[in-house]
Amino acid sequence: MRKLLFAGLTAATLMTGAGVVATQAQAQTVVVERYGHWDPTWGHEPPPPMARWHRWRGEHRGEWYGHVHNCMVKYSTYDARRDMYREGRRWVSCTD
């Protein structure tokens, strides 16, 4: 009886140990997104910012997707390719 109990405790210990190892491996996975985080529920992923837009280089590079999402929510006519929205007959630059 003792041998059976000991075997059962050993198996239970091994199973919980394996679960901890798998959890640690998953926790170490780091995803670095180039232009910030884009949630698929927001729609199609927008194109990257144009190279001539100096604002989105360097330290602000990771803020592009957040900026696009804010402008999409704020202005229904927003176009991410231009980073502008329609106001009547003219295009206006989006600043959030």
Closest among 81, 33, 39, 34 to 94, alpha carbons compared: 81
pTM of the model: 0.65
Token look-up 């929205």 returns 85
Which residues lie closer than 8 Å to 43 by C-beta, 6 or more apart? 72
How many structural domains are present in the chain? 2
Same domain assignment for residues 53 and 81: yes
- Gap between the Cα atoms of 72 and 58, Å rounded: 23
Same domain assignment for residues 25 and 45: no
Q: Is residue 35 part of a domain?
A: no
Q: What is the DSSP letter of 40?
A: G
SS3 85: strand
Q: Is residue 45 part of a domain?
A: yes
Q: Is residue 13 part of a domain?
A: yes
Per residue of the chain (96 residues), give pLDDT as tens: 555 556 666 666 656 655 555 555 556 555 668 898 888 888 889 999 998 888 888 888 899 999 999 999 999 999 999 999 999 999 999 987
